[in-house]
Amino acid sequence: GLPPRVRIHEVGARDGLQNEKATVPTEVKAEFVHRLAAAGLTTVEATSFVHPKWVPQLADAERLFPLLGDIEGVHLPVLVPNDRGLDRALALGARRVAVFASATESFAQANLNRTVDEALAMFEPVVARAKAAEAAHERVHVRGYLSMCFGDPWEGPVPIPQVVRVCKALLDMGCDELSLGDTIGVATPGHVLALLAALDEQGVPTDRIGVHFHDTYGQALANTLAALQHGVTTVDASAGGLGGCPYAKSATGNLATEDLVWMLHGLGIETGVDLGRLTDTSVWMATQLGRPSPSRTVRALSHK
Ligand code: HMG
Ligand code: MG
């Protein structure tokens, strides 16, 4: 069966904008996040506290985050790769953070300048410190992204046990949830189900798993539906289909949030999202970026 409700983890302002050639002014980013929240998205990933040279598009995190303020009922998670990133995020009052691991050695090097295990060792104190803050009644929620769960541009198809090992490591160190990333968008539904079944077998609770599909081969919605049928209820998507990944050249945009919402509402699954307001937001952002949204739903609804 399908779940009655899905929580959309909106990544357009982070995964989307980190890969756009145009540098978006900080005020425009803040308006983007506010409009996404006003459209009913309750988790809006805001930015990354990474090295500014690695992701120049998000180098304004210190200026952006305070502009967002507290938005009632909306979580604003941020990416933190290491202690330095966590310090920067906590100093600004971030309450949700995400570390980002890789299932493959090639991408761990390209994205984090580390082996897979060195990257895990870098995240361990980050997660531990977030948990310590939690003990002081300042609950900091930690998401663990895992990239290249299906295929890798350098290594090809990624063996499922290799992915499961890093998933378990992230949960064992204390991550509250996992996001399974198909960074380059090569997954197909059978592969998704095989990975989810392997995680089941290892006792990983499905309610701690989110899915993060990129739409390179047009499979993101099919993969999402397979994951929902398996019991997953957290789905990452990017407004207007913005995005990619600067350290994985063959990656195109994420699953577009509008395409996801169209499918979910069609299935009678609640999201809390106002599709009209969301589409208007993506049309506006496309104007800011000077290129049309690749989302089929955005195009269909905005040419009515
Ligand atoms: P490194 O060069 O190995 O860093 O990079 P280091 O630890 O050797 O430090 C070098 C210098 O950087 C030091 O400064 C540090 O202070 C500074 P120095 O002493 O030389 O003056 N530094 C920092 N400055 C600001 N903020 C920080 C920070 N950390 C160190 N947080 C590092 C290692 C992890 C920092 C680097 O590789 C990095 O920033 N990587 C981030 C790459 C990234 O953001 N990629 C995109 C996100 S992942 C993604 O998109 C996939 C996802 O969507 C899921 C999917 O689709 O698969 C999540
Ligand atoms: Mg991504």
pLDDT digit string (tens) for 284-293?
Answer: 999 999 888 9
pLDDT of residue 249: 61
CA atoms within 13 A on the CB side of 235: 36
Q: Cα(139)–Cα(134) distance, rounded to whole angstroms? A: 4
Residue 92 has pLDDT above 90, yes or no: yes
76 by Cβ neighbours in 10 Å (0-12 / 13-18 / 19+) ranks as buried
pLDDT digit string (tens) for 35-46?
Answer: 999 999 999 999
To the query of whether residue 175 is one of the catalytic residues in this protein, the response is no
DSSP 3-state of 80: coil
pLDDT digit string (tens) for 139-166?
Answer: 799 999 999 999 999 999 999 999 999 9
Q: Is 54 in the pocket of ligand 1 (CB under 6 A)?
A: yes
Q: By alpha-carbon position, which residue is closest to atom 49 of ligand 1?
A: 245
Q: Is 253 in the pocket of ligand 1 (CB under 6 A)?
A: no
What ipTM score was computed for the predicted complex, to two decimals? 0.98
Q: Cα(209)–Cα(167) distance, rounded to whole angstroms? A: 10
Q: Cα(178)–Cα(209) distance, rounded to whole angstroms? A: 5
DSSP 3-state of 234: strand
Q: Which atom, in ligand 1's list, is nearest to the CA of 122?
A: 34
Q: Which residues pair with 156 in a beta bridge?
A: 152
pLDDT of residue 245: 52
Q: What are the φ/ψ torsions at residue 254 (nearest 5 degrees)?
A: -70, 165
Which of the listed residues 18, 45, 48, 50 should we mutate to test ligand 1's pocket, taking the one with most ligand atoms within 8 A of CB?
A: 50
Which of the listed residues 11, 19, 48, 51 should we mutate to test ligand 1's pocket, taking the one with most ligand atoms within 8 A of CB?
A: 51
Q: Closest by alpha carbon to 3, among 257, 215, 295, 270?
A: 270
Asked whether 179 and 208 are in contact (CB, 8 A), the reply is no
**Sign of the alpha-carbon dihedral angle for 207, 213, 102, 29:** negative
Expressed in angstroms and rounded, the spacing between residue 104 Cα and the centre of ligand 2 is 15
DSSP 3-state of 187: coil
- In this structure, how many other beta carbons lie within 10 angstroms of the beta carbon of residue 157? 11
